[in-house]
Amino acid sequence: MTGEEYIDRADESLDAAYEAPMSLAEYVDAVLETPQVAAHASKYLLDAIEDAGTRMVIEEGEEKERYRFFDDPYNDGEHAILGNTEVLNAFVDDLRSIAAGRGKDEKIIWLEGPTATGKSELKRCLINGLREYSKTPEGRRYTVEWNVAGAGGNATSMTYGNAAIEDEDDWYESPVQAHPLTVFPEDVRADLLAEVNERLDDHIPIRVDGQLDPFSREAYDFLEEQYRRQGETDLFSAVTQPSHLRVKNFVVDVGRGIGILHSEDEGTPKERLVGSWMHGMLRELDSRGRKNPQAFSYDGVLSQGNGLLTVVEDAAQHADLLQKLLNVPDESHVKLDKGIGMDVDTQLVIISNPDLEAQLNKHADREGQDPLKALKRRLDKHEFTYLTNLSLEAQLLRRELTNETAVWDPETWDELETWIQEPLTISVRDQVETATEKELAPHTVESAALYAVVSRLDSAEIPTGLDLVDKALLFDRGYLMEGDERVDIEDYDLETTAEDGDHGIPVTYVRDIIADLLHEPQDRHHPDLPVEHVLMPRDVLNAVAEGLSDAPVFSTGEATEYEERVVTVKNYIFGQQEQDVLDAMMRDKRVDEATVEEYIEHVYAWESDDQIENERGELVDPDPLKMKVFEIEHLGRFDEKNYDGNEPDHAVEQFRTEKIITALNRHAWQRRDEEFRVGDVNPKEIPVINTVLGSYDWDDIQRTYEDFEPGQWDNPPSGTETARLKEKTLDNMVEMFDYTEASAELTSRHVMSQVSYRWD
């Protein structure tokens, strides 16, 4: 695009976000037409979250509905919160109760958790989401601005100095985003809101309580006094006429509807909460013998967040302030000075690490005399925990190592599994700024993520026969395969405990270990190979485990416990690498899906004892020989003794009925309202077929390649079957699983070194 075209796009973007100022009457008409634009703070925040929609995710082995708002959709997922869906849903449930006034009005929402659990991302999601929602027609946010010029008297009472007032310079916006409906007297406002709520298509009515902010009240009172002196009878109309009052929309951002109190912010409690007096302005403004609220800075967190959201970040640094916030949710009011107060409509959220709880409990032994008891009663606590889902941790780790921001939203587990196992290429610069491409081989990110997850799981609550890796897989996909059988998490009677995700290896530690490895000379890891710039799963796992005892973030007991858990992860990852090598070796022998589908059709016809019509409209007669050949050669489940000629014995019949037909009938039942054809079934949905489509063992290799010698794999003699098989295998690993030549070489060598021990 040309420069002019970019300018045009910027114009269009701003035009969509802003409206021309309107009169108070025009605003009321707009509210009656689109009631949600007048929503009070907690309801507006709830509307913004719900407007982004939901999606289904699997966490802790359960299917859950997740609000897309927390995926940071308006910012391409850059600050998406990964996991903690139940915590976020509980947060939204609290908002719904607060917005509806159902007994939680006095609550301050408290989000607690260790570092790197998503709390900071939540703050950014709120900022990004509310900003973008406020640019939409249904999310418009409005406030008032005043002009006292021409009303008589001292016009400079609206200024921050003695500058001349004329035209647009005469208008001064409410510094705390005052709600336009607070201009109306309470009885008129009540009737107006009653009509608005009748038109509102929502079960949560809009509430607009409180009075004008002190700045606006000063303008209102000044105008009212001038027109009363002039004998004006319709005072409200005179004060709020378009030449004095207009309603304008604003885009929500930090400082305008969102107040953020950072850990490093200083000042007295009053300065941090609402702002401070500007003493020079007190002398300039006509205060009529008292402090003029227009000489107040309004730069405190409640002033900035009035009308929507107030966040206290790293609340342990502002523990002294929390007691000052005690009555804000109750009374919706805060003092600027002894004689001047401000009504506040804001949703209070505090964010902290676990150390805040220790501060709040320092007087707990005093029981009824605990001075912090009232504060603790008002805090509604939600705990963020470390991720306990492999796929989420893998995604988070990739984000930490790269600039990837897209949120994974797969349609199938197979798709998600591919993303988890994918390799990763990172450009690393050395001291002379020379860029080198470093590869994290397939399964490397998976291994690091799995180790972190396994370190966070409660080892005491595991069903017999399972280990921590099994628990991690169940939490991620909701099932395990036991032979041909799929066993769901419910069948294991496995549930999350308070210990799951409460502690463990944080992603930041793993990220730093990998970053250090990326800058080390590669020959430290593979000195005997002419292969550079590849990190393997075992390189990362060894480095993470070895560094635990020296990392100050872990206690001695934690380091010992986590070191012991690396073995199960290594075994699982080796199994994944081993299967990749096996599949690549047997690629040419793989059963194609057309052959599998033909077998399924013949079994279905056999069970029906009649012809069936396949998806191509062809009539299929059961062929005993084709079924027998498939079951012996491809499934490997039976041999000639299971057949009398081509007729199956009881074991084969039972297999066909229980393993094939049952799965087909289940699929037919799921599609009972549609026309069902056997060809509609994905063969991978039948567990025993899914196994044969992509699972081999070393017996298959030995049977297929009689002269293969795994001990020769590193340097196979030319012209041997081992040399030919190795060349084919490496090519297939590159093509099938996105290995590079280097990582395929390293992975296959590692696998063969283990296989050669047991080959004979």
Round to whole Å and give the CA distance between 663 and 237: 75
So what's the pLDDT on residue 677? 55
Strand pairing category for 309-312 and 253-254? unpaired
Tell me how far apart the alpha carbons of residues 524 and 544 are, in angstroms, rounded to a whole number. Answer: 16
Which of 722, 720, 701 is CA-nearest to residue 711?
722
Return d(Cα 182, Cα 246) in angstroms, integer.
Answer: 13
What's the pLDDT score for residue 305? 94
Greater confidence (398 vs 591) lies with: 398
Percentage of the chain exceeding pLDDT 70: 85
- Phi first, then psi: give them for residue 338, nearest 5 degrees: -55, -40
Pairing of strands 612-613, 619-620: antiparallel
Report the alpha-carbon distance of residue 501 to residue 199 in Å, rounded.
45
Domain spans of the chain, in order of start: 35-149+168-382, 390-587, 591-681
Least confident of 188-202, 418-432, 515-529: 515-529
Please compute the mean of the pLDDT values over residues 724-749 and round it to a whole number.
94
pLDDT tens digits, 28-54: 999 999 999 999 999 999 999 999 999
pLDDT level of residue 157 (50, 70, 90 thresholds): very low
Given this model, what pLDDT does residue 163 score?
A: 36
User: Which whole-number Å values give the CA distances from 512 to 120, 212, 439, in the listed order?
Assistant: 19, 52, 16
Q: Residue range 453-482: average pLDDT?
A: 89
More confident call, 168 vs 307: 307
- Of 204, 205, 221, 299, the C-alpha closest to 261 is 299
Per CATH, the number for 35-149+168-382 is 3.40.50.300
Contact 536, 518 (CB under 8 A): no
661-696 tens-digit pLDDT? 877 676 555 454 555 455 555 655 666 666 555 567
Mean pLDDT for the stretch of residues 634-649 = 86
Residue with tokens 């283990």: 754
pLDDT tens readout for residues 233-274: 889 999 999 999 999 999 999 999 999 998 888 888 889 999
- pLDDT for 60 equals 79
The predicted pLDDT at position 692 comes to 55
Q: Quick one: which of 524, 486, 689, 498 has its CA closest to 593? A: 689
Q: What average pLDDT does range 210-234 have in this prediction?
A: 90
Model-level pTM? 0.81
What pLDDT score does 431 carry?
58
Q: Which pLDDT belongs to residue 590? A: 73
